[in-house]
Structure 1
Amino acid sequence: MLRLLTIEFHKLRYNKAAKILTITYFVLLTAISLIASYEFNFGGVHIRLADQGIFNFPYIWHFNAWFAAWLKLFLAIVIVAIMANEYTNRTLKQNLIDGLSKKEFLASKFLTVVIFSLLSTVFLFIVSLILGLIFSDFNEFSIITTDLEYIFAYFIKLVGFFSFCMFLGILIKRSAFALGFLIFWQIIEGVFKLISSLFKWKFDTDILDKIVIQFLPLESMSNLIKEPFTRLSIVQSTMNQFNESSEVNSGVHWYEILIVLIWTGIFLSLSYYLLKKRDL
């Protein structure tokens, strides 16, 4: 394992684009703290987000995990690029000539995916913990450790998403086209979701969501960390005033984690299949 990680680290070390994108990603994660001190002005009403409870424990784990997940595209570009560069620079063929098996090659890439995901998760945990200790109204240990499953879900989400990106890099071999296909696939899932919404509105049933939509790869990853805003007390109070239901199902569920893990296994299997069958 250490040998495989050393090989990948050596490749990343001399990839300037990968270093810039990775640094940008972590800088943007750190910039979450800037939101806390920024004061918005709405029609003469001054609102500081930190005063609205978004950095209260345990809500901060949910909010920051959801917010940080939007930034994963930066690392996705890195994953796709390093995979596509293996073909462009012919390092894949050279690695195989030097004695690296195709299974070991794929394992080195997946280890990179796991390391990126783990580092991002640990960094998010530290940033969230510091912000919570500074701004949260509740600092009891039992409250701080509540809802930590969102951090775990964030890790699973990144591993699944980056595994998809790795597969696209192997499938298409060109980073720009692979990222284009990723966007195209997102549009396809969006069309399916639109059809499901129309079906639900027409027939008052969410059957398509239950049997199709939740099992789509990107949608299943999105379902791991649902939007956090309906959990805010100010939002729930507003909904109650308009006699709207304030019940939300925003928790992390085991079956949603299982779906993403299955997709991760599928992407790894397909990636290995392509490597085995192709003439490299």
Structure 2
Amino acid sequence: MKRLLSIELQKIWKNKASKILTLSYFILLTFIALIASIKINIGNFQLHIAEQGIFNFPYIWHFNTYIAAILKFFLAVVIVSMMANEYSYGTLKQNLIDGMSKKEFVTSKFLTVVVFAGVSTLFIFILSLILGLSFSSYNEVGIIFSEMEYLLAYFIKLTGFFSFCLFIGILIKRSAFALGFLFVWNIIEGIIIGILNFKVFPDSDFDKNITQFLPLESMSNLIVEPFTKLSVIKNIETTIGGAANLKDYDVHWYSILIVLAWTAIFISSSYYLLKRRDL
């Protein structure tokens, strides 16, 4: 496995575009720290973002993983391009000629996906820990390391999403069309969710029992938006007479299982495509 992973990482690092996109992704993640410097002045009222509790433990684990997950599309381009380049440069056929089996080829790609997700998760853990220790009002060990299931959800979310990108890259071969398909699929899921929510089940939440099994939606459900958890938002809702927020922010085991199932489907389907395809 070490040999397979080493081959893939060398391919990515020697590709200038992939190298720039990968570095850009991690550089952009560090920009989360810049949120601490944002101050909004409205007349005599000054709002300092860092003082609103976004970097408090354990809330920071939820906030940072949610924000970081938005930037995952940078690495999605790398994953899709990684597969497209195999066809464009003929390296896939050459690897098979050199003795690598199709199973080993898919395994090497999946290992790369897991490494990207793992390194991203470790990066967010370190960044969140530094920001939390710098700005959090709560520094007790028990509080610092509570609610860390969001990091697990983040890792699984990235692994599932990158596996989807890998499958699309193998299916379509060309990176531009593959990324276009990813965009179109996102729209298709949005249409399905809208129809079920507003037309089929307008007076109930039963639509969520169905849409939670859609691939991108299932990944999205792992980490829901954290903003309405902030006390300042809750105070505003109370002030304007809004209803109590009963939103469920937890990471659920069944959401994890659904994404893991999709990950297995994408990887096995990738292998099936390569196995049946005449290269």
C-alpha separation between the residues in 2 aligned to 1:3 and 1:268? 20
Mapping of residues 100-119 of structure 1, within 5 Å: 100-119=100-119
C-alpha separation between the residues in 2 aligned to 1:25 and 1:264? 22
Mapping of residues 97-176 of structure 1, within 5 Å: 97-176=97-176
Paired residues of 2:163 and 2:263 also in contact (CA < 8 A): yes
Paired residues of 1:161 and 1:221 also in contact (CA < 8 A): yes
Q: Which residue of 1 aligns with 2:196?
A: 196
Q: Which residue of 2 aligns with 1:251?
A: 250
Paired residues of 2:84 and 2:174 also in contact (CA < 8 A): yes
Distance 1:51 1:106, change over 3 A: same
Q: Which residue of 2 aligns with 1:54?
A: 54
Distance 1:44 1:23, change over 3 A: farther
Q: Structure 1, unaligned stretches of length 5 or more?
A: none
SS in 1 for 2:221: helix
Q: Structure 2, unaligned stretches of length 5 or more?
A: none
String of CA shifts for 1:238-275, please: whole Å, max 9, x gaps.
Answer: 32341412222011000000000000000011101100
Q: Which residue of 1 aligns with 2:96?
A: 96
Amino acid aligned to 2:205: D
String of CA shifts for 1:83-118, please: whole Å, max 9, x gaps.
Answer: 110001010000000000000000000000000000
Give the paired residue count: 278
Q: Which residue of 1 aligns with 2:214?
A: 216
C-alpha separation between the residues in 2 aligned to 1:73 and 1:168? 14
Q: Which residue of 1 aligns with 2:29?
A: 29
Paired residues of 2:201 and 2:207 also in contact (CA < 8 A): no
Paired residues of 2:36 and 2:49 also in contact (CA < 8 A): yes
C-alpha separation between the residues in 2 aligned to 1:199 and 1:149? 35
Paired residues of 2:169 and 2:175 also in contact (CA < 8 A): yes
Paired residues of 2:65 and 2:150 also in contact (CA < 8 A): yes
Q: Which residue of 2 aligns with 1:229?
A: 227
User: Could you tell me the TM-score, scaled by structure 2's length?
Assistant: 0.97
String of CA shifts for 1:18-54, please: whole Å, max 9, x gaps.
Answer: 1100110000100110111121233553211101000
Mapping of residues 72-83 of structure 1, within 5 Å: 72-83=72-83
Deviation at 1:5, TM superposition (A): 1.1
Task: Establish whether residue 240 from structure 1 lines up as the match of residue 238 from structure 2.
Answer: yes
C-alpha separation between the residues in 1 aligned to 2:278 and 2:100? 16
SS in 1 for 2:99: coil
SS in 2 for 1:138: coil
Deviation at 1:153, TM superposition (A): 0.3
Q: Which residue of 1 aligns with 2:70?
A: 70
Paired residues of 1:163 and 1:267 also in contact (CA < 8 A): yes
Deviation at 1:199, TM superposition (A): 3.3
Deviation at 1:136, TM superposition (A): 0.2
User: Could you tell me the TM-score, scaled by structure 1's length?
Assistant: 0.97
Paired residues of 1:33 and 1:131 also in contact (CA < 8 A): yes
SS in 1 for 2:147: coil
Superposed CA RMSD in Å reads 1.2
C-alpha separation between the residues in 2 aligned to 1:233 and 1:10? 47
Distance 1:5 1:84, change over 3 A: same
SS in 2 for 1:40: strand
Distance 1:248 1:206, change over 3 A: closer
Q: Which residue of 2 aligns with 1:269?
A: 268
Paired residues of 1:213 and 1:219 also in contact (CA < 8 A): yes
